Amino acid sequence: MDFSLDITPDLLAVFATLFVLELVLGVDNVIFISILTNKLPKQQQNKARILGLTLAMVLRIGLVLVAGWIITLENELFALFGMSFSGKEVILILGGAFLLYKAVKEIHHKVEGHEEEQSGAGTATFAAVLGQILIMDLVFSLDSVITAVGMTTNMIVIITAVVVSFGLLLFAARHIADFVNRHPTVKMLALSFLMLIGVFLIAEGFGVHIEKAFIYGPMVFAVIVEALNLWAAARAKKRRERTAAPAADAQAVEADK
């Protein structure tokens, strides 16, 4: 692994790509962490979000520093029903199944109305939530580190991209979580993304390679559509308020007469 720093246009392009990738994965982390921390008492939620993201950053940097060992996870571990599985593939399958289970469970709770009853009510312990966050961090970090090492062997570039992206996310985590919680459709969309990522990880674990562009492309398109829906709803609300104001004034004048 390379710890030198010789700044070139190619290296800057790699840094920019890794930064965007880490930011996208980091937003997924924030959304998932916000969903998990909603089960905690309100006074513990922000602490759990910050701690969860900090652990994700530390874990990712740690995996980067042992990238040589990470690469060995791609060696065959065992064979089952004529298919060989490596350590990496086992982790991806188990992690994908975990994400899929949690996303489906949260969607079920939301549809059945359990979410409103449980949010902020302290229905989970701090340790249990932190444990689930760590499992999710491990899955996202493993996939991220393997992708990063495949792009460059310069550890300084990879670690800098991780630290800068997570620094921004630590600042924005509370705002992202509040925004997702304020808009039910955004939360449902986020849970659908987690389901999609879970299926993607399971497929990767079984040797079915899917280009990330086919995953994140539709996700970006869905986010744009949802943003337009929210914008249209906000403008419609303002129009209703402008229309209601003159009507209310007219009624007040009539009442005075």
Sorting pLDDT into bands at 50, 70 and 90, what band is 181?
confident
**In the prediction, which pLDDT does 137 show?**
77
Print burial letters for 63-84: b (CB count within 10 Å at least 16), e (below 16). bbeebeebeebeeeeeeeeeee
Q: Per-residue pLDDT tens for 193-203?
A: 888 888 888 88
Q: Delimit the domains of the chain by residue range.
A: 9-210, 211-257
38 contact partners, CB below 8 Å, separation of at least 6: 45, 115, 118, 119, 120, 181
**In the prediction, which pLDDT does 149 show?**
73
**Count of beta carbons in the 10 Å neighbourhood of residue 91:** 17
d(CA 204, CA 21): 18
Most confident of the following: 5-14, 112-121, 122-131, 159-168: 159-168
Give the H or E element holding residue 45: helix 42-65
d(CA 173, CA 183): 16
Sorting pLDDT into bands at 50, 70 and 90, what band is 235?
confident
The region of weakest confidence among 66-80, 89-103, 121-135, 198-212 is: 66-80
Sorting pLDDT into bands at 50, 70 and 90, what band is 177?
confident
Q: What is the mean pLDDT of the chain?
A: 76
Beta strands in 154-214 (DSSP E): none
Sorting pLDDT into bands at 50, 70 and 90, what band is 116?
low
**Count of beta carbons in the 10 Å neighbourhood of residue 179:** 14
**In the prediction, which pLDDT does 71 show?**
64
For residue 129, pLDDT beyond 80:
yes
Considering the entire predicted model, what is its pTM?
0.71
- Write the DSSP symbol of residue 234: H
**In the prediction, which pLDDT does 144 show?**
73
